[in-house]
Structure 1
Amino acid sequence: MTDTTDATPQAGPASAGAPKAPEAAPEAPGRLPGQSGGGTPPPPAPRPYGPPGLLERLESAAFARINRTREWYELPGPLGLMNLAVIREDLRRHNLYDTFGAGGERDRRPTRRLAPHRSYDGSGYDPYDEDMGRAGTRLDRNSPLELVHPDADEELMAPSPREVSRRLLARRGFVPAPTLNLLAAAWIQFQNHGWANHGDNEEAEPLTVPIAADDDWERQGGTCPMRVNRTRPDPVAHTAPGVPPTYENTVTHWWDGSQIYGSDEARCRSLRTGERGHLILEDGRLPRDPRPGMECLDATGMNSDYWSGLSLLHTLFAKEHNAICDLIRSHHPTWDDERLFHTARLVNTALMAKIHTVEWTPGILDHPVLHHAMRANWYGLLPRWVTRTFGRIGGEALSGTLGSATDHHAAPFSMTEEFVSAYRLHPLIPDEITVRDHRHGAVRKVIGFDDMQGATTRTAVDDFGISDLLYTFGVSHPGALVLHNHPDALRNFARLSGEHIDLGTVDVLRDRERGIPRYNAYRTMLRKRPVTSFEELTGGHPGDTPLLRELYDGRLDRVDTLVGNLAEPRPAGFGFSDTLFRIFVLMATRRLKSDRFFTTDYRPEVYTPEGLRWVDENSMVTVLLRHHPELEPHLAGVANAFAPWKGRS
């Protein structure tokens, strides 16, 4: 497999057409409006991601043999870290598949002018592919394309996704994740809204889900049979034969904060004051969304499926954006609104990426090897003082991803359907939340999830205040990602649009509809040994063995990936399965390595020296305390803001 952004003819499974070389060299990246000429020359074309060398092949073969009997997390720390690095390289070579060409596309458009900062729609990041990562381009795949043709409609219902939801997903009693707080649940939805969205499909005939005779769905307010809108299809009709269905991402693919800033210029400008680079805030709150029927939500870049947890984080990082603007303006008083805004966006986005990489991820994957791996992903294996004193030494492994060479590996960058599927983490949401006073810890009120989502989002924030809600989220646990723990509130969920759905059913159905391989095929394509029995799958929960065997008619090959990942025994400290983790191993660094604003353009000429220091010196704790110093007694000594805070009884 080769990198299809190279200007030379391509080969391999990710290739869909060779882009032409640009007629003229693009402008130097990082030159902002008002800057003088000069700058740096355009980056060289990415080298093809060719076959592994002898050492890489030997490492891969050696660890493949070891992993037949011992997984990476069962090895001594340094060896486990090496094993993870080899797994990542194998995944980069074999699990990036491009759908370019499905609509008859032949050539990629070269970028005539590289965006000097993050563009409004995600275009102009790559010199050889102007549309890479742009809003409105396709989601690609981690699975080989021959595996992702969905079943016919009748097979999509085998077994009924509603029965899977009722019998395997429905919460029997709240199972908490004791090492995390509820901010961790809100955070991942906050980030995910900036990465991928399929949009709405009101036009096609919905999918019909059969309802069992003893099902109470109608009594809950649903229709019988259940109707679920299909995923909105790719607007570009397929002309290439044998290509599986593809779908469009309605937001930018990049890690660019589009959930805050929007994925088009008009939306972004509607959220800005037009002065000093600031976003609009009114008395410390985001304003109401002015669109008809949306006034109960915040005006922000992405507010689909919005609730108070999202409102807290959108507001917090809008405040952070404005604080960064003020810092940069104090050092560059002549800069205009546009330059201040775009520079602050770069810094704010990088800080969010850092928080996710070195705080949220080790929080939900609390394993010693992962702690080292995620820090190395961001900072490199060398001590931080070495890089600070001498600059980058060596490549990504030693000095981290930031400032390293851009590399798309085996396919042009995009989000993937498998990555979207990996974030079906609805068990994190509790059905009830005990709101507490941040000053004394006293209980104010116990509310249901429906009392703080959709139409009640802003009302809940108004009634309880941001400080008490942040404190409440900091001392409350999310749910564990296990079977029988999907919240009732989301399995009987009324959207703002009036649609009444069971999100457990929808989660299962979406994977099947979009061609996510079933669990054992999913493991195999990620080079993980398939399970050989239902007993092995259910591991430490033998009570679920007969239930899964009955529901799937004794066929291991039909077990849904979502179900398998919730049932699978997992490494100590892991919040989700090692199988699911393989997608994260691949995609976590890919989002950084493909983005020149995290690689070749992560430099003071683009971010400013002050901006780079801001990213380096801050964390989720310092962001919270900057804007809510009243929370200091609860955060004193807390190393990770996504772990439970100090509460008061």
Structure 2
Amino acid sequence: MTETTPRPAEQSAPPPPPRAQERDGSTDGGPPLPGRPRRTPPPPEPYGPPGVLERLESAAFSLINRSYEWHELPAPIGLLNLAVLREDLRRHNLHDTFGAGGERDRRPTEQPAPYRSYDGSGYDPYDVDMGRVGTRLDRNAPLHMAFPDGEDLMAPSPREVSRQLLARRGFVPAPTLNLLAAAWIQFQNHGWANHGDNEEAEPFTVPLAADDDWAEQGGGCPMRVNRTRPDPVSHTTPSAPPTYENTVTHWWDGSQIYGSDEARCRSLRTGEHGHLILDDGRLPADPRPGMGCLDATGMNSDYWAGLSLLHTLFAKEHNSICDLVRSHHPTWDDERLFHTARLVNTALMAKIHTVEWTPGILDTPVLRHSMNANWHGLLPRWVTRRFGRIGGEALSGILGSRTDHHSAPFSMTEEFVSAYRLHPLIPDEITVRDHRRGEKRDVIGFDDMQGATTRTSVDAYGTSDLLYTFGVTHPGALVLHNHPDALRNLKRLSGEHVDLGTVDILRDRERGIPRYNAYRQMLRKRPVTSFEELTGGHPGDTPLLRELYDGRLDRVDTLVGNLAEPRPAGFGFSDTLFRIFILMASRRLKSDRFFTTDYRPEVYTAEGLRWIDRNSMVTVLLRHHPELAPALAGVSNAFAPWKERS
């Protein structure tokens, strides 16, 4: 469904974007910067073994966590527990897949540019290909744990897991969130990782039970599921686990809006004032054959109305940022305005995700403090504004700190991709409401607003009413028996007919995601010792899991375990899954020089940094849709339920 241009890491780097600014004095193909020229920092020191104090902290919390989890401790101690846990994860759960087959050749970035590249290359001064489109997804699991299940790939049948444990028995809402939160995470995830189109040759054959109605639903018998497209260039030895390529950039760079190659990006731009193309406030239709039902944007795979709303909103935001920057710098040309606005827009999305979406789905005081500290630091913000950075990452936040990849080159990981299997968030039907009076307009199914019906549904109901509807509608809770029927019987735009519940289970097994108890242990969490402990407050599921997995706790799938596991108060998903987040959420910021050493006014402009600092999801919505002000009155987090009109 998506246009991708994968490039193996061994190929030579592409040329930088055209040097449109050279007539203004640039010598590196990028925008000229005032003040002193940027100097390449010295190579980072290896992330060495922990010091004595760090070892003592790690050992102490390891002992404490045998009896009490971090969320059961007093808040200040719980926060320290999380900080120590993150350091342990940084040392032990970042694995370069080249480690099993020798180091690849790393070439330096000859002229690091003061803007984000089109394909993700050139972010690291010592490795031009780090994070680039077409480089592989790495691992959080040690490589010896990252092999596919082999003969056990169908044990138990992933279709039976979907039917008996995932299938929605009745919609269970997540009452503290709205549907915008569900659309947001897919919107962000599409900018981080994608495996590309699946292989059609030699699909998996999934056995069906005698009473399975898949054939009656229009699927084949037996069920066929295409395999993940393999890494097109083998970089490791035959004894190493299989690897897969990321067909989008790994960085938090807004590539879902801007694309992961220059040709795609330029096709989305007007060529004037840095703007993206908008047609009467809407993204235009994708001009490629058979794709006119989708928006023309950087990434429109698995597209639906929720994604269309957010892609359009942040395309508008990009253009507003261009206008702001141009008002301060009227001589700047299209290229410089575009790249500056992209930096600011991307950083604003990263801020929204860090300090709004994440505390929204993980609603505890410790997490609110933790995620704000990731972005702003523990010191009051006025201190940083007045005196600049004081101390390290903990006090002043990651922004503007030293870039650090920790124990492996930066990349997205297979375990991180797996962590975002959050399909229960999607409801099977939505009641569309009028944003002015709150009146019911229609009830539509998910199939009426995805794939071939995406743009027609937005046209039919309008952006304002759909945004309001998403704001007052709850998503589904991330629990067992809550996968939407619409996604378990999904007809994709490509013509493929799939049960995404089955696919979710099969993909983890195919890509070597450790099963649940092994997954817990690799993340420094005590394994469960019984099915009763796993199912916690839902004892009715205990015999079902025990029977399906033939009494073997070691065979419980990670997705199932994470949906079944009792969770901390206020958490929208499991603490086990959360550990991948605390590692990778800060890593997306800490490894990116545009959030660290290059987060400065010479790169972003002073007005760009103020825009990031002063805005939120609520202000973005109100800037482009002031008609939503009554519904957003008093709402501090746009991903929490809005005020219903009456």
Where on the TM-score scale, by shorter chain, does this alignment land: which range? Answer: over 0.9
- Is 1:224 the counterpart of 2:221 in the alignment? yes
Unaligned runs of 5+ in 1: 1-15, 18-27
Aligned partner of 2:504 in structure 1 is: 507
Instruction: Pick closer, same or farther for the CA change 1:36–1:648 going to 2, 3 Å.
Output: closer
Question: Structure 2 residue aligned with 1:474, among 461, 471, 474?
Answer: 471
CA distance in 2, matches of 1:31, 1:233: 35
Aligned partner of 2:605 in structure 1 is: 608
- Native 8 Å contact 1:30 1:606 kept in 2: no
- Native 8 Å contact 1:29 1:114 kept in 2: no
Aligned partner of 1:390 in structure 2 is: 387
The aligned amino acid for 2:249 is T
- Native 8 Å contact 2:153 2:506 kept in 1: yes
Q: What is the TM-score with the length of structure 1 in the denominator?
A: 0.94
Question: Structure 1 residue aligned with 2:258, among 256, 261, 264?
Answer: 261
Measured after TM superposition, the shift of residue 287 of structure 1 is 0.2
Question: Structure 1 residue aligned with 2:353, among 326, 349, 356?
Answer: 356
- Native 8 Å contact 1:276 1:329 kept in 2: yes
Task: Classify the secondary structure of the residue corresponding to 1:446.
Answer: strand
Measured after TM superposition, the shift of residue 241 of structure 1 is 4.0
- Native 8 Å contact 2:316 2:624 kept in 1: yes
Matches within 5 A, 1:106-117: 106-117=104-115
Measured after TM superposition, the shift of residue 100 of structure 1 is 2.3
Matches within 5 A, 1:303-342: 303-342=300-339
CA distance in 2, matches of 1:429, 1:176: 10
Aligned partner of 2:624 in structure 1 is: 627
Task: Classify the secondary structure of the residue corresponding to 1:229.
Answer: strand
Task: Classify the secondary structure of the residue corresponding to 1:472.
Answer: helix
Aligned partner of 1:9 in structure 2 is: none
- Is 1:187 the counterpart of 2:171 in the alignment? no
Aligned partner of 1:100 in structure 2 is: 98
Task: Provide Cα deviations, 1:66-116, integer angstroms capped at 9, x if missing partner.
Answer: 000000000001000000000000000000000126676542111111132
Aligned partner of 2:120 in structure 1 is: 122
Aligned partner of 1:214 in structure 2 is: 211
The aligned amino acid for 1:411 is A
Matches within 5 A, 1:459-498: 459-498=456-495
Aligned partner of 1:542 in structure 2 is: 539
Task: Classify the secondary structure of the residue corresponding to 1:80.
Answer: helix
Aligned partner of 1:10 in structure 2 is: none
Aligned partner of 2:142 in structure 1 is: 144
Question: Structure 2 residue aligned with 1:297, among 286, 290, 294?
Answer: 294
Aligned partner of 1:89 in structure 2 is: 87
Task: Classify the secondary structure of the residue corresponding to 2:297.
Answer: coil
CA distance in 2, matches of 1:36, 1:164: 59
Measured after TM superposition, the shift of residue 237 of structure 1 is 2.3
Measured after TM superposition, the shift of residue 312 of structure 1 is 0.1
Question: Structure 2 residue aligned with 1:516, among 505, 513, 517?
Answer: 513
The aligned amino acid for 2:126 is Y
Task: Provide Cα deviations, 1:244-264, integer angstroms capped at 9, x if missing partner.
Answer: 000000000000000000000
The aligned amino acid for 2:468 is Y
Unaligned runs of 5+ in 2: 1-8, 11-25
The aligned amino acid for 1:272 is R
Measured after TM superposition, the shift of residue 40 of structure 1 is 2.6
CA distance in 2, matches of 1:270, 1:61: 54
Task: Provide Cα deviations, 1:521-545, integer angstroms capped at 9, x if missing partner.
Answer: 0000001000000000000000000
The aligned amino acid for 1:648 is R
Task: Provide Cα deviations, 1:201-224, integer angstroms capped at 9, x if missing partner.
Answer: 234310110011100001111001
Greater Cα offset, 198-207 or 56-65: 198-207
- Native 8 Å contact 2:33 2:603 kept in 1: no
Aligned partner of 1:25 in structure 2 is: none
CA distance in 2, matches of 1:593, 1:257: 17
Q: What is the TM-score with the length of structure 2 in the denominator?
A: 0.95
Aligned partner of 2:18 in structure 1 is: none
Give percent identity, aligned residues only. 86
Aligned length: 623
Task: Classify the secondary structure of the residue corresponding to 1:414.
Answer: coil
CA distance in 2, matches of 1:456, 1:156: 35
Measured after TM superposition, the shift of residue 35 of structure 1 is 4.6
Aligned partner of 2:563 in structure 1 is: 566
Task: Classify the secondary structure of the residue corresponding to 2:469.
Answer: helix
CA distance in 1, matches of 2:227, 2:324: 46
Aligned partner of 2:154 in structure 1 is: 157
The aligned amino acid for 2:142 is P
CA distance in 2, matches of 1:517, 1:241: 20
Instruction: Pick closer, same or farther for the CA change 1:74–1:35 going to 2, 3 Å.
Output: closer
Measured after TM superposition, the shift of residue 240 of structure 1 is 1.8
